[in-house]
Amino acid sequence: MRAWLAQDPDEETRAELGAMLDAAGAGSAGASPATDPQQALAALRTRFDGRLTFGTAGLRGEIAAGPTRMNRVVVAQAAAGLGAYLQARAAAGSTPSVVVGYDGRKNSAVFARDSAELLAGAGLAVTLLPRELPTPLVAFAVRHLDASAGIMVTASHNPPNDNGYKVYLGGADEGAQIVAPADAEIEAQIVRVATTTPVNELARSADYETAAESLIDAYVTQTAAVGWLPPAEIGAQPRVVYTAMHGVGWQTFSRVLGAAGFIEPDLVTAQIEPDARFPTVAFPNPEEPGALDLAYETARSVGAHLIIANDPDADRLAIAIPDTTRPEGYRRLTGNQVGMLLGWRAAEAATTPGAARLGDTARTTARPTLACSVVSSPALAAVAAAYGLGFRETLTGFKWVSRVPGLIFGYEEALGYLVNPGTVRDKDGISAAIAFLSLASDLAVDGYTIADQLDRFSERFGHFDSTQVSLRVTDLGRIRALMAALRSSPPAAIGGIAVASVDDLAAGSAGPTGLPPSNILRIRTVDGDRVMVRPSGTEPKLKVYIDVSSTKGSLAKRKKAVAGRLAALEAGMRELVS
């Protein structure tokens, strides 16, 4: 611990750790919690018993002192380890290159500059983005600059005091997030650095480049092409309210809007500029209750037809539409609803002669394919079948969705959408927003709304609806116990609806497009509905995904049947995992 303290270049975390060490070595029983030795020792153990593991989501955690937290020491070790990994895999005589970006969170700029200096000091060619920018800019830059890798410093929509470190790979990976075995190989190099070299002895250099504005210009131009507005539709644009959720999305999104021909939306001004404190939201995630309250208030005041929200690093998109049955006057669409509408749009474009294809231009020999994560709605499969397109399910996470051959559109229910995989091979809340706004404008020309389009979807492909049950725990053992109980004694019925089958995906799934092993249970009912149960990969939660559909009878009958079964399955699963 003293060695850690000696190498920490950050005054805040160094002071924090020093105070904890002092408290652990002095004081007496009955002292205040801030100075009680036993409490200080317990706190130190949580900081030093292990370390943040570099996995397929990179690093993410609370900013604080110690190897199990996010801080300048951990980031320096990660940068040095990544640099060593890239050098080991580089062709003889070549110099690996890395793009480094960052958002507006606490310490993001500091972590990014540390990474740039350390990678440059190790002899790599480094390009640092010129300012705080959305995550999709890094995924774009890796491909645009033909870089070996990209680093994005962000914790996405985590709580305010968190930060993270996401890695993309170039070359054959085409700017996608890392997957196994790269994660384990990078982790091994990080551990080697951590156990052999204090970070204050690692070489640093200011010999790195700052990206030119032309890089951002290229992203804006290519993203605007996703939803360029024909002059005939300029007058049919819906009135839009936009919030950046205290993140970095607005500056880039506003430029894309202008390039695509859209008028500027009404802004949630209190949330439009980056603010690492996230002062107006309890949790900076548009999925969370209350996160869109200011957007609803603004929309009511201007009579908006559409609300567009990005999460703080702008790789996710939330949409809300008018709904007079709700007190807020608006309802947020689920990720599945947005995904199935954008998937329908992509399928129509892919099968319309002469339409521009914004999909997988790098893999032209592959069959045009729609893809979503295994816990997302089966609605996308119905679209693919209707249009004669390929369809793939993947494990959760865009590191899997983005790698599907022939991809023209992919999504996951957690508000992530990939509408232009020929440009960005990751979820992108800005390009998805442009695509959705283009859809809304196209519909308005013909006198339709997004609510109308949802009904048209239900009439053509079947009515699909979904919900989730989340169980947050303090003891991860409880999640393991619940999964074990469901495996050993699977339910014969849920909410009074008989179960037809239970598939354990821990062994993988069969077929030519089968999934790798994953800790997921898939339950199907006699009505053809589906329940997925899995532990969260980023939070101490057990997550249950329920999907119900109907193709029988009128639209009203389909909606009624689905609503009844969805409510029954939700109540039954809450009882099972409570």
Active-site annotation, residues? 156
CB-count burial class (<10 Å; 0-12, 13-18, 19+) for 221: middle
Contact assessment for residue 525 and residue 498, using Cβ atoms and an 8 Å cutoff? yes
Each residue of 554-578: b (16+ CB within 10 Å) or e?
eeeebbebbeebbebbbebbeebbe
Closest CA to 297 of 277, 273, 320: 320
Q: Calculate the dihedral angle through the C-alpha atoms of 346, 347, 348, 349, rounding to the nearest 10 degrees.
A: 50
Q: Which helix (H) or strand (E) segment is 240 a member of? A: strand 240-243
Q: Calculate the dihedral angle through the C-alpha atoms of 98, 103, 105, 108, rounding to the nearest 10 degrees.
A: 20
Each residue of 446-460: b (16+ CB within 10 Å) or e?
eeebbeebbeebbee
- Residue 397 neighbours by CB under 8 Å, 6+ apart: 56, 57, 177, 373, 412, 537
Q: What backbone phi and psi angles, to 5 degrees, belong to 407?
A: -60, 130
Q: Which long-range contacts (CB under 8 A, 24 or more apart) does 328-331 make?
A: 328/293, 328/296, 328/300, 329/296, 329/299, 329/300, 330/292, 330/296, 330/299, 330/300
